[in-house]
């Protein structure tokens, strides 16, 4: 049995249960033609609502696709860190800046990409932002291949719709900007 027919069966049973508990005064005998007409109108209304839901789903998918394109192909790196400093999410630019495939970035500690001489500064900033709201810092990041670059980090604490707060980071490669001049 498919999931859809199982859902329909459950919905029918729930509707029958509601009807069984409805006050008898609401159940007025009516001619069959009138009931058939009411059922046809109700079916048409449901079909129209279903079509509206399909259109809404299509619009949501388009919106999601636009968001993904903006997020992944932004000219800056976006990272989301857990409250313990682990990378939970990264856009394509962020993974490129850090020199690691995006799927391998998840569950890595971000501080592993901070140059050793900047780690204390990073840890203090991380703790401060997780307590307060936001901060910016310039520091040196170091990729796994040894390449280092000066980066501007815009950090913001976010707890929207989450059990625990996270740290959202925007990374701008400052060496790219200075080389472009």
Going from the N-terminus, what domains does the chain have, and what CATH number goes with each? Answer: 3-70 (no CATH), 74-179 (3.30.450.20)
Res 26 pLDDT > 90: no
148, 94, 118, 156 alpha-carbon torsion, rounded to 10° = 160
Mean pLDDT of 5-30: 77
Token pair belonging to 41: 């109108």
3-state secondary structure of 140: strand
Q: What is the model's pLDDT at position 176?
A: 60
**Least confident range of 2-16, 38-52, 122-136, 145-159:** 2-16
Contacts of 115 by beta carbon, 8 Å cutoff, 6+ apart: 139, 140, 141, 142, 148
Mean pLDDT of 88-102: 94
Mean pLDDT of 84-107: 94
Report pTM. 0.68
Q: Per-residue pLDDT tens for 42-83?
A: 888 989 999 999 999 999 999 988 988 888 889 999 999 999
Instruction: Write down the mean pLDDT value for the chain.
Output: 88
Q: What is the model's pLDDT at position 24?
A: 67
**Least confident range of 110-114, 128-132, 151-155:** 128-132
């Amino acid at each position: 049995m498919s999931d859809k027919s199982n859902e329909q069966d459950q919905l029918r049973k729930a509707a029958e249960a509601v009807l069984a508990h409805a006050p008898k005064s609401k159940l007025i005998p009516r001619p069959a033609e009138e009931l058939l007409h009411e059922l046809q109108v109700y079916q048409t209304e449901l079909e129209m609502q279903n079509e509206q839901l399909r259109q809404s789903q299509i619009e949501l998918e388009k919106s999601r696709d636009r968001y993904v394109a903006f997020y992944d192909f932004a000219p800056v790196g976006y990272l989301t860190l857990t409250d313990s400093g682990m990378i939970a999410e990264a856009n394509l630019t962020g993974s490129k800046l850090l020199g690691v495939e995006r799927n391998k970035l998840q569950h890595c500690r971000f501080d592993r990409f901070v140059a050793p001489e900047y780690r204390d500064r990073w840890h203090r900033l991380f703790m401060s932002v997780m307590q307060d709201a936001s901060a910016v810092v310039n520091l040196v990041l170091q990729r796994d291949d040894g390449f280092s670059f000066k980066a501007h980090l815009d950090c913001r604490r976010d707890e929207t719709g989450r059990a625990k707060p996270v740290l959202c980071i925007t990374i701008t490669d400052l060496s790219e900007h200075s080389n472009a001049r």
